[in-house]
Structure 1
C-alpha cells in the first residue's frame, strides 16, 4: 500500500486526482493540505481517516506519505515539491513546473531522480498516438496543425480565479493548454523552432496562435479556452492526404482511409503511468522535470516574441 498526500484541493484535485486515488486499491490517501480549511473539511469529514491542514511541513510530518501530489496554483508548485523531495517523498506535480521560468529552472535543477519526480502531462500516453506517429514517419509531412479548445469557465469553473491572475498562473492559454499540445507535438515531431506568436483575449490571454517549424516543416498551433466547444485535434498533411488524430472523439483517421478508435480516457494516463512506476504494478511511465522544463522554455520564448 502506497501512502499518498495531496496539496491543493481545488478542481484539478477533485476532478482527477481524488477519483483516481479512490479507484486504486494499492493507493491510500492519508492527508490533504489546502489554504481553505472549509474546502478540506467539506471533502474529508472527521471520520474519513484523512489528516487535513494548511501546512505542507505538518502534512509531511504527520502523515509520512510515500508520494505528494501537487495541485496548487502554478505559483505555489515549487515550495511544497522541494519540501517533499527534501523529506525523501516522491512528487507528482501538475503542469507547468512553476508560474515563472526561473522557478521552473530551479526546480528542475534540484530534481536528480531520487526520489521520483513526475509531471502530469497525459496526452503523450494516448494509445492512438504511436500509430499516428508511425504513419507520420512513413510519410512526407508538408504541414502540421493542432487545434485545442475548451469552453473554459462555462464548462469548469475553478474554486478560486487564480488562473486569471498572471502572477499566480504565469500565463494564459498558451501556458495552460499549450503545454499539453506542445508535449504531444514534441513527442511526435521533435523540438520546434518558434516563428510567431499572437495572443488575444485579455491580460491573461484566452486565445493564442503559435507558428512553429519542425525540421523545416511549418506548423500552426491554435488554442482557445473561451470557445463554445471542446476540441483537441492534431493533423499532419501529406501529399496523399491528411493523418488526423482526434483526441476528443478518440479517433485516428489515416490518409489511406484507415480508421481506428479508442475508448481511453487520456486525462488519467500520466497518473496511471506515474503510480504504476511507484508501485511496480505496471510498466510505468514518467514525464520528467527536464521534459516539462523544455516545454516551458518553448512557451517562454513564444511569450517573448509576443512582447509579454
Structure 2
C-alpha cells in the first residue's frame, strides 16, 4: 500500500485527491495547505484527518511514501527538493520550477535520492494522446518535421496568484503554453531545442470590466492585481530541423476561444485537439481518418486518473515515468527562452 500526502489544497489538488482515493493500492493519509480554513474544508470533504499547515512537518512523517505538489509555481522546486531529501517519491504539478537553475537543482536531487519524480504533464496521459503515440511509434506519420498548437482564451485571466508574476512566473505561457509546447515536443520525439524566437504582449490586462460573460476566477481573485502577459507566441527550432509554433493567451480580442494541436509528418499528419483525426494518403488519395474510439477529445478527469495511476505504478513497481525530471528541465529551457527572446527582441540560442 502506497501512503500518499497531497501538498496544496487549491482546485487542482482535487484532480489528485480523487484518483488517489479510487486507487486500491493507495492510502491517502495526509493533506497540507497554508490556508488552515481551506485545509479543514478539504480534509472534511475527503475524510482525511491528518492535516498540516506546514509542508515540512508533513515530510517528517515517516509513514508517507509519496507526495503530490499542487502549490504555487514559485514553491514547486523547493518543496520537490525537500520531499526527495526526505525520501519521498514526488509528483509535481507543472511547471517543474520557475527557472532553469531551479529545475537543474531538482534534477540533481532526483539523481541523489533515487526516488521517482514525475512532472505533471497531464496531456501526455490523455487517451487520445496515448492512441496517437501508438500510431507515431509505429511510424504512421513518418518523421514529424512541423507542429503547431494554440490555446487562445478571449476572456480567461483567472487572476489571483495566476496573475502575480512573483508566484506564477508568468501568464498564459507558463500556465497554458507549458502544455501546448510539451504535448507537441513529446509527440515529435523530444528533439533537442536549439533556438527560440518569442513575443509576449501585455495589452488588455484582466478585463475585469467585461459584463455578461463568465470566466474562471481563482479563489484569491483580485481585479487590481495583474503583472503577467496577456499573450505569448513562439517559434522553436530543434536539432533535427523540425520546428514548433505555439501561441497562447489569457485574453484577446478574438471571436471565440481556440484550442488545437496539429502535427505534420512525411507520411501523414494528425490533430489531437479539438478531436483526434489522422491524415494520410492511400491509392493516390488524401484521407482524413477518424479512429473509432469512445472519446476523441482530451478528457481532463480521465487524464488525471491515468496520470495518478501511472505515478503509483512507478513508485510501487520501479517503472520509469513517461514524464521524468529531465523533460521538466527541457521544457523550462524552452519556456524561459521564450521570455528571454521577448525581452531582448531577438532569437535566443540554447
**Is TM (by shorter chain) over 0.5?**
yes
Counterpart for residue 22 of structure 1? 21
Unaligned runs of 5+ in 2: 206-226, 281-286, 345-350
User: Quick one: which of 130, 141, 165 aligns to 1:127?
Assistant: 130
2:269 equivalent to 1:243: yes
Query: d(CA) in 2 for partners of 1:135 and 1:103?
Result: 36
The C-alpha deviation readout for 1:186-241, integer Å capped at 9, x for no partner, is 22322333342111245412321111234334431121233643624223276x8x
Structure scoring higher RCO (CA < 8 A, sep ≥ 6) equals 2
2:249 equivalent to 1:224: yes
Normalising by the residue count of structure 1, what TM-score does the alignment of the two structures yield? 0.85
Shift of 1:134: 4.8
User: Quick one: which of 291, 297, 307 aligns to 2:333?
Assistant: 297
Q: Tell me, yes or no, if the aligned pair for 2:116 and 2:314 is still in contact at 8 Å.
A: no
User: Quick one: which of 313, 318, 325 aligns to 1:276?
Assistant: 313
Which runs of structure 2 are paired with 1:147-296 in the superposition (5 Å)? 147-150=150-153, 153=156, 157=158, 161-189=160-188, 190-201=191-202, 202=205, 203-214=227-238, 215-226=240-251, 228-229=256-257, 231-236=259-264, 243-249=269-275, 251-255=276-280, 256-262=287-293, 263=295, 265-280=302-317, 285-296=321-332
Q: Tell me, yes or no, if the aligned pair for 1:123 and 1:269 is still in contact at 8 Å.
A: no
Normalising by the residue count of structure 2, what TM-score does the alignment of the two structures yield? 0.75
Counterpart for residue 118 of structure 1? 118
**How many matched pairs?**
299
Q: Tell me, yes or no, if the aligned pair for 2:23 and 2:309 is still in contact at 8 Å.
A: no
Query: d(CA) in 1 for partners of 2:65 and 2:134?
Result: 35
Shift of 1:130: 1.6
Counterpart for residue 38 of structure 1? 37
Query: d(CA) in 2 for partners of 1:46 and 1:19?
Result: 11
